[in-house]
Chains A and B, each alone.
Chain A
Amino acid sequence: MLQIEKIRKTFPGVVALDSVSFSIAPGEIHTLLGENGAGKSTLMNVLTGLYRPEKGQILLDGAPVTLNSPRDSLGLGIGMVHQHFMLVPAHSVFENILLALDNIPHFFSRKTLKKKIGNVIREFDLDLDLDAPVWRLSIGAQQWIELIKLLMRNCRLLILDEPTAVLTPQESKRLFIVLGKLKEQGKSIIFISHKMREVMEISDRVTVLKKGRSLTTLQRGDFDEKRLASLMIGEDQIPQWEKQTHVVDDDVVLQIENLSVHNDRGLSDLENFDLSLKRGEILGIAGVAGNGQKALAEVLTGLKTATAGKILAGEDDITDSTAKRSYIAGIAHIPEDRKSIGIAPDMTVDDNLIMKSFKSRAFRNWIFQDRKAIRSNAEAKIDQFAIKAGPAGNPVRYLSGGNIQKVIIARELSERPAVLVALYPTRGLDIGSAEYVHKVMADGAADGMSTLLISEDLDELLKISDRIAVMFRGRLIGCVDPLKTSREEIGLMMSGEGAP
């Protein structure tokens, strides 16, 4: 049905796609597999008309087509559920869906239209209040809205960009059932993922992308997890690293009691939350994104204030923000959104590396900055963390995502913190960089640093945590031992159901 031939797309300084070809048949679920940065999302943005390729062509039913804008793609029946949802939080569910429809007259009856949307919602066993503003809904529900937008438009080809990243394992299963139904109706689906298990479960064919090239396409039955993994990673050097069994102290470094945090809209992000972190422990926090993890990190690092409850560091109560400020120096923080809060993008790598310590005596003489010391600090860090920083004086925004993450980690760990709060530290990193981040955390733990690792990747959590706590709607559902639990058990807890 759709054929993609030798597509090339570059961005300033990077070749995102370099000759990519593959095809998709009607009634097929075709998976695009590749590491972060392999070009999956870019390719899909080409298909939806957001990006214009420099070379190559796209054939639909054998005829070449030009996709200059999303309007063109939608007109041809190509629709996509983006990784960052394309919804307006302030508008109602109905308004969000209404905008996506093209085949309705300018004067229309809201009632009949709502009924029509209601029918689709029921067909797929969903539960959505059309008049609720989108910001009230869970991220899982928001994804359903995106899907309904495409279904209402009668798209022939649906593209889903890592749709399960924001779902519990159980919700993912439901999504797969819906996708199966759509497949039976003859729709084609491009499914993007890097989670091997899912790929095995639903794909008819798999195309592996690597560094902007389409490596190969395999039929169902021709691939298994091992084969795909080796194709995806290739001959890249993965730092060898094994989890050391280390003894966790019984000393409690941080004790959280009954903590509640409210957000700007007056809803509670955290509700009566209790947790204790021990010295040298890597405590994993599992949960679907948007269940209070960010608020937890922000309240610990002083960016938000608690509405109720206590945070104790040893004997000291540090809930109060002034008392906390002195303590925060000892808490390192790898933020979720590294580009928007982790760095000053226009400033150099050197400057970014001293952002937390620019007032320290090491980097200043009286009120003047000591440029020499700042430079040699940067050289040491670039060397130690293998940061590809480019020429000296390069603004940090020119660095790749993985290297920006390394800059942040280098800065955060340079003060030898007692506690590290890491939010999704490996999200968007290639496997090599992700392994490196894991190694840094494990090494820190061996030195007595305690880590709060907030992640949505269960494999990551199971691999390196000493203990896993599960969050749901701002509450702690329970803690499990990674050696004794199962994915299913954690999955159930993530949806707020089972507790051990």
Chain B
Amino acid sequence: MVEILLDATVRAGTPILFATLGAIINERAGIINLGIEGLMLIGALAGFAATSLSGSLLIGVIAAFVAALLAGSVHGFITVQLRGNQIVSGLALTMFGIGITALFGRSMVGLTIAGFERLTIPGLSMIPVIGKPFFNQDALIYLSFVLVFAIAFFFYRTRWGLALRTVGENPAAADTCGVPVNLYRFLAVSIGSGIVGIGGAYLSLASTPMWIENMSAGRGWIAVALVIFASWSSYRALAGAYLFGGITAMQLRFQAMGTTISAHILQMLPYIFTILVLVISTVRLAKGASQQPESLGQPYDREDRK
């Protein structure tokens, strides 16, 4: 029972985990990205379409990454090079994503593909309770584990990561050290968006191997809130994403058990929970437990007079 619930938790949390990691990369560079929801949809559709055309899941994942990267780079160009309002641009990206996937997804509705299958990792999967849920999963889930560590390593152990963090904290300081601020920001937005796209692909290639219009259903927004819960750390993002995976798993479990509580009420739970978590983590942040990137949301213009 615990194993089944944990397994469902990991599977439900993974798309949110990818999306949160992508959003963290954006925000670490100082750019708010409210287009996560749209990017997930773009990733989901691109991944599904490429897989059903080529028959290869790998190509599907790459297509999801590239499509979301390209869409995200529009947000990057507008907010970084053109110094446009980040909130409005992000909302525009979400709207664009919802609309364009609805348009191009018409012909994909009803098609089926063979989704990701489980790969058992010998040894590790034999650990009692947590072995199966974490090490008898599909390749994308293993990729998400790797990504969590890779991002932490990048931020805290490489000079590029240091430069990226500085760009988000104080772009002028980075600039005077010779760091090309706009390039870093643009790349962070683009690559971060690509990772969000993989989260979308998880929905259409692993969770339910098919395309459904608007299938992200608010997960992108939950990811945006989780970034604050995670206080911009990839390890805490993992914890946050699984927390939500857990809520979703329980909610599905309840429904499967045929409870008398309305499905509509149960579906509210993740959103209500996200709001609670956001409030709690903001209050905690305000008390100085951790810091958001100092220049988050502010465009950088070298020639602005201070």
Interface residue ranges, A against B (CB under 8 Å): 11, 48, 50-52, 69-71, 74-75, 80, 82, 84, 86-91, 95-96, 98-100, 102, 104, 106, 149, 264-266
Contacts and interface: CB of A to CB of B under 8 A. Distances in A.
Contacts of A89: 169, 294
A104 B163 CA distance: 14
A71 B302 contact: no
B159 A71 contact: no
B266 to A, nearest CB: 40
Interface string B259-297: 000000000000000000000000000001001001000
Given A11-B305, A50-B302, A86 B180 contact: no
B4 interface: no
B173 A88 contact: yes
B169 A99 contact: no
Give the most central of B159, B165, B306: most A CB within 10 Å. Answer: B159
A364 to B, nearest CB: 33
B180 A71 contact: yes
Chain B: interface residue count, which band? Answer: 20 to 34
Nearest to A87: B173
Contact of A99 (B166, B180, B302): B166
B83 to A, nearest CB: 15
B303 A99 contact: no
B123 interface: no
A233 to B, nearest CB: 24
Interface of B: 158-159, 162-163, 165-166, 169-170, 172-180, 288, 291, 294, 302-303, 305-306
Contact of B294 (A50, A70, A88): A88
B289 to A, nearest CB: 11
Contact of A91 (B165, B178, B303): B165
A106 B154 CA distance: 12
A70 B177 contact: yes
A86 B291 contact: no
A106 B158 contact: yes
B288 A264 contact: yes
A409 to B, nearest CB: 22
A91 B169 contact: yes
A265 B286 CA distance: 9
A265 B166 contact: no
Contacts of B162: 91, 95, 98-99
B180 A88 contact: no
A86 B176 contact: yes
Contacts of A264: 288
Contacts of A82: 176
A322 B294 CA distance: 32
Contacts of B166: 88, 91, 99
A106 to B, nearest CB: 6
A98 B158 CA distance: 11
A74 B166 CA distance: 18
B174 to A, nearest CB: 7
A84 B175 CA distance: 14
A99 B175 contact: no
B163 A265 contact: no
Give the most central of B166, B170, B176: most A CB within 10 Å. Answer: B176
6 contacts: A70-B177, A88-B169, A88-B173, A91-B165, A99-B166, A264-B288
Contacts of B176: 48, 50, 70, 80, 82, 86
Contacts of B175: 50, 69-70
Given A88-B170, A100-B177, A266-B288, 7 more contacts: A50-B302, A52-B303, A87-B173, A88-B165, A99-B163, A149-B177, A265-B288
A70 B162 CA distance: 18
Nearest to B305: A11
Nearest to B172: A86
Contacts, number: 69
A71 B178 CA distance: 4
Contacts of A84: 172, 306
B293 to A, nearest CB: 9
B159 A99 contact: yes
A199 B199 CA distance: 61
A99 B174 contact: yes
A95 B166 CA distance: 9
A88 B179 CA distance: 14
B154 to A, nearest CB: 12
B303 A50 contact: yes
Contacts of B163: 99
> Which 10 pairs from chain A and chain B are nearest by CB?
A71-B178, A86-B173, A88-B169, A86-B176, A100-B177, A99-B177, A70-B176, A74-B178, A88-B170, A90-B291
B285 to A, nearest CB: 11
Nearest to A107: B158
Contacts of A96: 173
B286 to A, nearest CB: 8
B270 to A, nearest CB: 32
A265 B165 CA distance: 21
Give the most central of B165, B170, B179: most A CB within 10 Å. Answer: B170
A106 B159 CA distance: 7
A265 B290 CA distance: 10
A102 B178 contact: yes
A15 to B, nearest CB: 13
Contact of B170 (A69, A71, A87): A87
Nearest to B168: A88
A98 B173 contact: no
Contacts of B306: 84
Nearest to A75: B178
A96 B177 CA distance: 10
B212 to A, nearest CB: 42
B127 to A, nearest CB: 33
A132 B170 CA distance: 18
A99 B291 CA distance: 20
A354 to B, nearest CB: 27
Nearest to B290: A90
A102 B172 CA distance: 17
Contacts of A104: 159
A414 B159 CA distance: 54
Nearest to A9: B303
Contacts of A265: 288
Given A11-B305, A91-B165, A86 B170 contact: yes
Contacts of B170: 86-88
A140 B165 CA distance: 25
B99 to A, nearest CB: 33
Nearest to B288: A265
A99 B163 CA distance: 7
Give the most central of B170, B175, B177, B291: most A CB within 10 Å. Answer: B177
A265 B172 CA distance: 24
A86 B173 CA distance: 4
A178 B172 CA distance: 26
A266 B288 CA distance: 8
Contacts of A98: 159, 162
A72 to B, nearest CB: 9
A44 to B, nearest CB: 11
A80 B175 CA distance: 12
B178 A70 contact: yes
Given A98-B162, A264-B288, A86 B305 contact: no
